[in-house]
Amino acid sequence: DGGITQSPKYLFRKEGQNVTLSCEQNLNHDAMYWYRQDPGQGLRLIYYSQIVNDFQKGDIAEGYSVSREKKESFPLTVTSAQKNPTAFYLCASSRGLTAAADTIYFGEGSWLTVV
């Protein structure tokens, strides 16, 4: 089945640790995104990528890093510089059209908790 797979579903991070969240899609989409969801704040864009080997900062990129070495994969690293990383992280993708906006599809999300 086509879709977006995020792993792990639950992750615990100790203070000072870097952790990486995996995102894989088999939809043949060009564009991929990472959003962070906090209660009462909706979803906020961390990073997005339009093509392989290219990515741009979103609204809250500080303390995060990404890579896009393959079309199918867009991992997110939460670094120790992110002071409040506990949140629900959502990966998404879209076909990436040059015309009007396209439908964005979301994965099932990953819960990150700092312990």
Partner 1 sequence: QQQVKQSPQSLIVQKGGISIINCAYENTAFDYFPWYQQFPGKGPALLIAIRPDVSEKKEGRFTISFNKSAKQFSLHIMDSQPGDSATYFCAASVNTGTASKLTFGTGTRLQVTL
- Using CB under 8 A, list all residues that contact partner 1: 4, 30-31, 33, 40-45, 48-51, 56, 58-59, 90, 92, 94, 96-109
Phi/psi of residue 36, each to 5°?
Answer: -115, 135
Q: Do 20 and 112 meet the contact criterion of CB atoms below 8 Å apart?
A: no
Closer residue to partner 1 (CB): 67 or 102: 102
Cβ 44 to partner 1, closest distance in Å? Answer: 7
Closer residue to partner 1 (CB): 18 or 57: 57
Radius of gyration of the chain (CA): 13
Longest dimension (CA), the chain: 44
Cβ 100 to partner 1, closest distance in Å? Answer: 6
Q: Do 22 and 75 meet the contact criterion of CB atoms below 8 Å apart?
A: yes
Nearest Cα to Cα of residue 112 among 77, 86, 91, 92: 86
Cβ 25 to partner 1, closest distance in Å? Answer: 12
Residue 29 structure tokens: 């989409």
Cβ 48 to partner 1, closest distance in Å? Answer: 5
